[in-house]
Structure 1
Amino acid sequence: MLALTENVTEIVNQLTDEVPGIAGIRVATEPDGQSLSVSPAEQASPGDQVLEQDGATVYVDEAAAVILDEMVLDGGVDAEGNIEFAVGQQA
């Protein structure tokens, strides 16, 4: 199962605190079946896995859950204030 870093939980918690109606983020596969997208989400979509850690909620669609099994989601904010996410192997 996908793991979350402390950075990601902080980003998600800040996002949900600042944006009304947002409950978490959603990781989904793109139509090409290889790429992933991350977007704010109000709720899970049918079939999503729901990950909750340190108050942060991340929804992962079924296809992304297979791709991300045994991976870790990390994130950060660049100098311009853009949120960036990265995926790596769990230790």
Structure 2
Amino acid sequence: MLTLTDNATAIVTTLVTRQSEAPDAGLRIHSTAAQEQGGGARLAVLVTTVPEPEDQIVEVSGTRLFLDEAASAALEDKILDAGVDDEGSVSFAVLPKVA
């Protein structure tokens, strides 16, 4: 199952609360079409008030993530980290779990 670092939990919570007042809102992680020939699917994020019907819902410390099927499979055994740069831009990193 996907886990989040403390930074990712705090940043996702902040993003969701700033962009939605809905009590059940969350960050949706979904696959997008590959941008380069031969490239794999990429993951994108957006704040949404409700998950899509087939989304897996992951809740970590009150933070809700909605994962589409491809994202759920890709992130199943990963750690999601996040950071904010000096200009306020958020970036996410997917890290392998260390046994």
The TM-score, its normalising length taken from structure 2, stands at 0.83
**1:24 shift after superposition:** 1.5
| Alignment equivalent of 1:36, drawn from 31, 40, 43 | 43
The letter for the 1-side match of 2:26 is G
Q: Percent identity among equivalent residues?
A: 38
User: How many pairs were matched up?
Assistant: 91
CA distance in 1, matches of 2:18, 2:87: 18
**Structure 2 equivalent of residue 90 of structure 1:** 97
User: Which is worse superposed, 8-17 or 44-53?
Assistant: 8-17
**RMSD, matched Cα:** 1.4
Task: Report runs of 4+ in structure 1 exceeding 4 Å deviation.
Answer: none
CA distance in 1, matches of 2:56, 2:41: 18
**Structure 2 equivalent of residue 10 of structure 1:** 10
CA distance in 1, matches of 2:30, 2:59: 17
Residue correspondence of structure 1 range 1-91 to structure 2 within 5 A: 1-21=1-21, 23-32=25-34, 34-91=41-98
SS at match of 2:51: coil
Unaligned runs of 5+ in 1: none
Pick the structure with greater CA Rg. 2
Query: CA offsets per residue over residues 13-56 of structure 1, 9 Å max, x none?
Result: 11232223461111101123521111112111111111111111
The TM-score, its normalising length taken from structure 1, stands at 0.89
